[in-house]
Structure 1
């Protein structure tokens, strides 16, 4: 056994020891064969093993473990690394998978440490840090995770096991195991999945893995300390596959593909898919969504920017008409149907605060954009003011802005962190109008959501097709906290922005998962490093991180920590992948036009759109508005707000 403290290792337990690396475990035929230790080496019947520990500094250690079959015949099974905490805690993380057991999630993804009394075991490709398990208290953080040095080290799984003494044991399994059941579709658990290693006589199995012991950056933010430490062992070295001009042009192409005339005005379609009756794409049900996934309002604003850049008056007038049509859909109480189709068919339903928050922000920003070009469109600002006023009037000091609201102005549901998007909207209104009512409400809401959600390292419900812990709901807290810091100068807002950014960053993949040569990822050149997992309920990667790049640049400037620019580059490079190239491609039997990008990339044994969950490494066939809208927003903001310096994302 080897004991780890924040500064050193020891062969016997010391007062400051926080983690104990146990002898190897060989699992075969459902049983575990432990090893005995002596003089730094381990033995079991028919096996010999050795650990070599390399101290990398600041609490990070690389362990090289080798196991040799010294018996008389081949042995087949699984190898297990186990490291036990010397302290008890209920605060733990398996990145992207389990936030202290997902007790705040309403989905049916795995909850708790066990299923039917057996520990949950998750494949490495579900975690942003491979096979990572992390435990922490207010004073201590410990983590065990795999290395990407070679396939043997990387292809693995992880688990946390509660001991009789209440302490948690971190485990890495080699090779991949998912048990006692595998999470394979939206709220679907399937049979376990097992793979095995066979060692012939005198054959050695060698792996590298990491142990980290440190102090949380803030309470509940041991992950932040870990992220700051690991970036030199998981360096991002890739170049963007296209330049910034090509990224803008391809984004316009996607928006133009989604644009259609609806009720006499131009709108942006959402959730388009492959047409079962042709080789093209179609919209299976009418959705023209203001914010969230569709980002119709943001796309209209980006197209306006292009119209002013090129002098295209027809495009300008079409986009003004689109925005004014949205404004005309508003109810007397200030709310509106966030799917424009429901304005036309009058089939109103409760709508979410995510869409409402985006709408306030985008309408206010569009008003300012038009005014800067000498065009007054007061209906846009009036829409934003009336919608913002509704939420100021209905803000609740205990529940914030709520989750969903009925068309008649009654609350349909509470819950989640989704109110962060309304904070973002109110701050846009404050910047445009100077009305301190919006600033005051935004500050009070930021205090509430920070204490309840951001400080808890658990943000929920902004991915509104889920009901769980997610990544994208962190974005408005990063942006709004930085805006509040700029407006008020209060240092606590910078801390909130950092916390929310570290939470968001914990969803970004730090390595390239491995896929077969015949997978779509391999054929199309997709890699996982820099992609962001969606949520605990939807374990797929998307390019959503592209929207947060300006905030990472702002954080780098405000804190002096240039790691944020490196993170921004990784997010950008991943977000450029698998945009349909010039001339288009045929994929899944359908023709994809130039500029189109899938909404999600399926990294693990989980798929929402295919029957065969074994097809790791494939693209989905869902085409929505936000990827293009977010890319253009980031490019526009880098040009107008960040000095036009694109060096962080250029080739």
Structure 2
């Protein structure tokens, strides 16, 4: 037995011996915190979960400070129960130089394995030689760790399951598994939390900093270590001497972490504000994904991020008018270039175009923005706008494909009668993201009795290329050399396979548009590859294609889009589960806490000082840049709300729809007199806060807002989410089911909402009496054999809230409900779940 094991054995025996002292204990379900007596008037705390001891950073000393860089600890001199769920502990720590720190810690049992720590520290006596300090709280996650990577961690926006894997491909200079410190400031992460999980037994521990003011001053950006106005924390992991610690530090030091911002301290002087509230959670989770979801959702609930509403219809109009303002005509329209399009970017200082070059997808989004104008022209009855959009779409449909059908994605237009040229290099995300717009444009034209065969033929040629170049495992390579043909194929130029997810929705919508089973088969093969390698491994990588191919935010968005498209296509529940996991992952990149600008910063910032950064999202691991990219996802999250009835998704959809426009000129106040769709492309959230922005608007910025708005129009007839919310619930459900059948490839085809599966599910299912009167004895549900086994029954109200839930015996074929008296009269939805699919029926209560 080594010294560390012997120490913990002695500590355990000491706890057992002292339990007879009848000292206070707080219980939170199967977690507890016990006051233990060390010696006269010296107490410490013993945390446990499922009977297993969980040691604090210094097991016998619950108060842990660093004073002038040196560890200083203390016990409690007093511990008393205020109520059955509240414990007040007091400590007096005296430094070696004579400074006196009074600490008051209140512990509150909150149920479900959670405790809250409310800490207040006051300096009674300050000795100048002590200079500075910080305080720490946390736990020993493993006293004998073989390696850091044997466990799983989550710090939003910076640390996920795959960080130290080869596929994670972390950029050089970031923390690696051999480093000691992995602490992250709260302005670097999207919510202040850290999670540790043991994959062997599912034990999961998290610390959330509640109510963080997240305030700082300019000295912070100047790397001054000590200031009383540093009111933010940091959270993370330390591995030292084979021990793994899960920690919170106040103020927020990143210590000697690679790429960190160094130490931060408070001065040792009277009157310094040093207090914080932490929520500590112990649980068992069945998977890493469950641990992330539970931890994130709890922090999200505690912070309850505010929605900053904008007029979505007015914003839509402003975006369209901005596209018209900067539209570049071709020579047939009186311009000087051989192709029509939109500037790559527009300066936010001169408001003039910067670079007239066209990329079909990703950050260029030429085809999508051409489609928006084409459709807008038809809907307005404005032939000029329609023609402008058509010119863009015609150019790409007629010119972008190689002889093999692979898109060339970036074009430099020719001037004054000269022909332009395509740049080399095309990756799967840019190709599919661009060509999706051509499918939508063709479908909308056909729905309006306009035949444009060139558009759908181009889409089919690329679809045939995807079918013919799919790897045997269902994947695609990252990029291909469009300028080379070897053995009748364009050779791969990058063999990374994680962009496969980007092809899924394109293939699904192409199948809907054409009925060609080959595209459906390819979509399912690609989806199954992604389910195995992205969903199962929690590895969302490489979709921010102009960054290193590492863990990033937009890989979650692409997975959400792809898996949701497959769920629409098949109604198989595994795809909905995969979409929900991708949605949670995507959320974790979105700032859901307020991070204000430095209190004393007087100069202008890139991102407006007086607007919230809630809703902006981090781009990728490796830097601290954020942008409005979460705007892409409002429609997908809203559909998850309709599919699941979970109101959390509605709130997130609203954050995506509204908050992402905080740096947009939508109301004309940021850039008076300029187009209202102009918006900051990217900026830095952390110190110097809201500075170092990319002071241009790229064409993708418009598309990020308009893509979900046009999909809202496809599904519900309006681009305005808030107008959709005014549609009766059952009508929204019906419209959502219609959209699932055709997605954004609706060319006016007849839509049959029944499927062999739903017909089979409906056959023999009986619910009676329906309408159900409250004075009836019971509601009866008869389940046919074809639906067996059914595991769960839920009843939702029209707001999507679960108002009744019942776990079922697998053998039950007839269910009796006689406890519905608390449900007020109205329309409800009764949902049966057998883990393969869900069946929902309307229930009326009178």
Range into which the TM-score falls when normalised by the shorter chain = 0.7 to 0.9
1:520 match: secondary structure:
coil
1:565 shift after superposition: 0.3
Q: What is the CA deviation profile of residues 594-636 of structure 1, one whole-angstrom value per residue up to 9, with x for unaligned ones? A: 430111232013xxxxxxxx35456431311222112222222
Residue 138 of structure 2 is aligned with which of 82, 85, 109?
A: 82
Question: Are residue 357 (structure 1) and residue 432 (structure 2) matched?
Answer: yes
Residue 305 of structure 2 is aligned with which of 213, 236, 261?
A: 236
Measured in 1, the distance between the counterparts of 2:205 and 2:503 equals: 36
1:126 match: secondary structure:
coil
2:237 match: secondary structure:
strand
Residue 331 of structure 1 is aligned with which of 390, 402, 407?
A: 402
Measured in 1, the distance between the counterparts of 2:606 and 2:347 equals: 20
What is the 5 A alignment of 1:291-302? 291-302=361-372
Relative distance call for 1:114 and 1:259 in structure 2 (3 A) is farther
Q: Which moved more, 1:214-223 or 1:442-451?
A: 214-223
Q: Which moved more, 1:261-270 or 1:472-481?
A: 261-270
Does structure 2 conserve the Cα–Cα contact (< 8 Å) formed by 1:28 and 1:78? yes
1:232 match: secondary structure:
helix
Does structure 2 conserve the Cα–Cα contact (< 8 Å) formed by 1:182 and 1:193? no
Q: Which moved more, 1:104-113 or 1:440-449?
A: 104-113
Relative distance call for 1:72 and 1:352 in structure 2 (3 A) is closer
What is the 5 A alignment of 1:244-255? 244-255=312-323
1:538 match: secondary structure:
coil
Residue 252 of structure 2 is aligned with which of 176, 185, 207?
A: 176
Which of the pair has the greater relative contact order for Cα pairs under 8 Å at 6+ separation? Answer: 1
Relative distance call for 1:560 and 1:523 in structure 2 (3 A) is closer
In structure 1, the partner of 2:266 is: 197
Does structure 2 conserve the Cα–Cα contact (< 8 Å) formed by 1:244 and 1:650? no
What is the 5 A alignment of 1:98-497? 98-100=159-161, 101-103=163-165, 104-108=168-172, 110-113=174-177, 115=179, 118-137=180-199, 139-151=202-214, 155-164=232-241, 166=243, 168-180=244-256, 183=259, 192-201=261-270, 205-216=274-285, 218-240=287-309, 242-262=310-330, 263-273=337-347, 279-284=350-355, 286-329=356-399, 330-341=401-412, 345-346=420-421, 348-398=423-473, 400-407=475-482, 408=484, 409-415=490-496, 417-467=498-548, 468-497=550-579
Q: What is the CA deviation profile of residues 98-141 of structure 1, one whole-angstrom value per residue up to 9, with x for unaligned ones? A: 224453124235132564xx413322111111253444536232
In structure 1, the partner of 2:93 is: 44
Measured in 2, the distance between the counterparts of 1:555 and 1:318 equals: 35
Does structure 2 conserve the Cα–Cα contact (< 8 Å) formed by 1:21 and 1:83? yes
1:258 shift after superposition: 4.1
1:299 shift after superposition: 0.8
Relative distance call for 1:592 and 1:174 in structure 2 (3 A) is farther
In structure 2, the partner of 1:53 is: 107
Measured in 2, the distance between the counterparts of 1:106 and 1:337 equals: 29
Measured in 2, the distance between the counterparts of 1:205 and 1:30 equals: 17
1:333 shift after superposition: 0.6
Give me the TM-score of the superposition, normalised by structure 2: 0.69
1:197 shift after superposition: 0.7
**Consecutive unaligned residues in structure 2, runs of 5 or more:** 1-14, 16-24, 35-45, 80-88, 95-99, 216-229, 331-336, 485-489, 727-846
1:509 shift after superposition: 1.6
In structure 2, the partner of 1:628 is: 702
1:172 shift after superposition: 1.9
1:178 match: secondary structure:
coil
Measured in 1, the distance between the counterparts of 2:668 and 2:212 equals: 37
In structure 2, the partner of 1:186 is: none
Does structure 1 conserve the Cα–Cα contact (< 8 Å) formed by 2:208 and 2:299? no
Measured in 2, the distance between the counterparts of 1:256 and 1:238 equals: 29
Measured in 2, the distance between the counterparts of 1:177 and 1:616 equals: 20
In structure 1, the partner of 2:637 is: 552
Measured in 2, the distance between the counterparts of 1:273 and 1:134 equals: 44
Measured in 2, the distance between the counterparts of 1:561 and 1:311 equals: 39
2:493 match: secondary structure:
strand
Q: What is the CA deviation profile of residues 5-64 of structure 1, one whole-angstrom value per residue up to 9, with x for unaligned ones? A: 774322235462475444232223332223334544444323332321223333443210
Measured in 2, the distance between the counterparts of 1:224 and 1:458 equals: 15
Measured in 1, the distance between the counterparts of 2:393 and 2:360 equals: 10
Q: What is the CA deviation profile of residues 119-164 of structure 1, one whole-angstrom value per residue up to 9, with x for unaligned ones? A: 1332211111125344453623221122225457961222301254
Measured in 2, the distance between the counterparts of 1:325 and 1:550 equals: 29
Relative distance call for 1:35 and 1:485 in structure 2 (3 A) is same
Residue 28 of structure 1 is aligned with which of 57, 63, 67?
A: 67
Q: Which moved more, 1:522-531 or 1:329-338?
A: 522-531
1:261 match: secondary structure:
coil
Q: What is the CA deviation profile of residues 301-352 of structure 1, one whole-angstrom value per residue up to 9, with x for unaligned ones? A: 1112211121111121221121111112211111122112289543541211
Does structure 1 conserve the Cα–Cα contact (< 8 Å) formed by 2:154 and 2:195? yes
Measured in 2, the distance between the counterparts of 1:272 and 1:522 equals: 17
Does structure 2 conserve the Cα–Cα contact (< 8 Å) formed by 1:4 and 1:18? no
Measured in 1, the distance between the counterparts of 2:629 and 2:247 equals: 31
Relative distance call for 1:394 and 1:151 in structure 2 (3 A) is closer
Measured in 1, the distance between the counterparts of 2:474 and 2:170 equals: 17
2:340 match: secondary structure:
strand
1:509 match: secondary structure:
coil
Give me the TM-score of the superposition, normalised by structure 1: 0.88
Q: Which moved more, 1:256-265 or 1:559-568?
A: 256-265
1:372 shift after superposition: 1.2
Q: CA RMSD in A?
A: 3.0
Tell me which structure has the larger Cα radius of gyration.
Answer: 2
Measured in 1, the distance between the counterparts of 2:53 and 2:515 equals: 52
1:585 shift after superposition: 4.9
Measured in 2, the distance between the counterparts of 1:586 and 1:354 equals: 33
Measured in 2, the distance between the counterparts of 1:453 and 1:204 equals: 45
